[in-house]
Amino acid sequence: MFLSNGGIIENLGHPQGILFLEVALTENWLIFVTREAHTWPSWQPVGAILGVDIIATLFCVFGWLTGGAFEQTNPSDPATFSEGPTSIVTVIVVWGFSIGVIIFIATVYYLLSRITWLQNLGRASRSKEEMKMEQFLEQLFKLTVEREKDPQFENPRYVLKTRTEDFDADD
């Protein structure tokens, strides 16, 4: 898997940095796969994901936190690693691999979400009472308690109201 002087593509690179970059990129992008249709995260999470991806790339390129050089054991291991920095070609390949993994995961997620019997797999024996309870809880979730101050009364008044349409369920 490794070249004689370390690395995967060129003679630069430590496996810890390369694996860190691949895992960081792939797990960050999963938020885009698991979102419901026609919904995207706000700019703050997208900016945070972009920032983490840039930092993870810098960690890999410069070999930060890779633990230094690999110490040879007796008998010597043919895979010796460089001091930590990774070649830019390897980083580009890791980015491409991560994009391919996300495309594969998104395709599988899309295909599995189209299978109707999978959506009802654990719900085959649901009773009408359970369905009514689910509908009740769904309606209850749409309510909110608002505090109003009325000048006629000393104490504030609490009122049940429906949530606005721009409310995000993740907030």
pLDDT tens digits for 36-65?
767 777 889 899 999 999 999 999 888 887
- 25 within some domain: yes
Domain containing residue 144: 128-162
Considering the domain architecture, whether residues 112 and 139 belong to the same structural domain is answered as: no
In single-letter form, the type of residue at position 88 comes to I
Same domain, 26 and 64: yes
pLDDT tens per residue across span 64-77: 877 655 555 555 55
Tell me the pTM. Answer: 0.61
- Mean of pLDDT values over 86-92: 87
89 and 149 in a single domain? The answer is no
| Residue 55 domain flag | yes
Judgement on whether residues 149 and 99 belong to the same structural domain of the protein: no
Shared domain for 26 and 79, answered yes or no, is yes
Is there a cis peptide before residue 15, judged by omega within 30 degrees of 0? no
Answer yes or no: do 23 and 105 share one domain.
yes
Domain for residue 63, yes or no? yes
Residues 48, 77: one domain? yes
Q: Indicate if 23 and 99 belong to the same structural domain.
A: yes
Q: What is the C-alpha separation between 24 and 94, in angstroms, rounded?
A: 11
Which residues are CB-neighbours of 22 under 8 A, at least 6 positions away?
94, 97, 98
Estimate to the nearest angstrom the gap between the alpha carbon of 73 and the chain centroid.
37
Considering the domain architecture, whether residues 139 and 89 belong to the same structural domain is answered as: no
Residues 94 and 71 in one domain: yes
Domain count, the chain: 2
Q: Which residue has the higher pLDDT, 21 or 42?
A: 21
Instruction: Tell me whether residue 7 is in a domain.
Output: no
Statement to judge: residues 104 and 65 lie in one domain: yes
Beta strands in the chain (DSSP E): 143-148, 157-162
Q: What residues pair up with 157 in beta bridges, in sequence order?
A: 148
Domain contains 9: no
Phi-psi group of 145: left, alpha or beta (phi > 0 → left; psi -120 to 50 → alpha; rest → beta): beta
The Cα 4–Cα 95 span in angstroms is 23
- What value does the CA radius of gyration of the chain take, rounded to a whole number of Å? 26
Of 4, 23, 20, give the one whose Cα is nearest residue 12.
Answer: 4
Task: Assess whether 158 and 76 both reside in one domain.
Answer: no
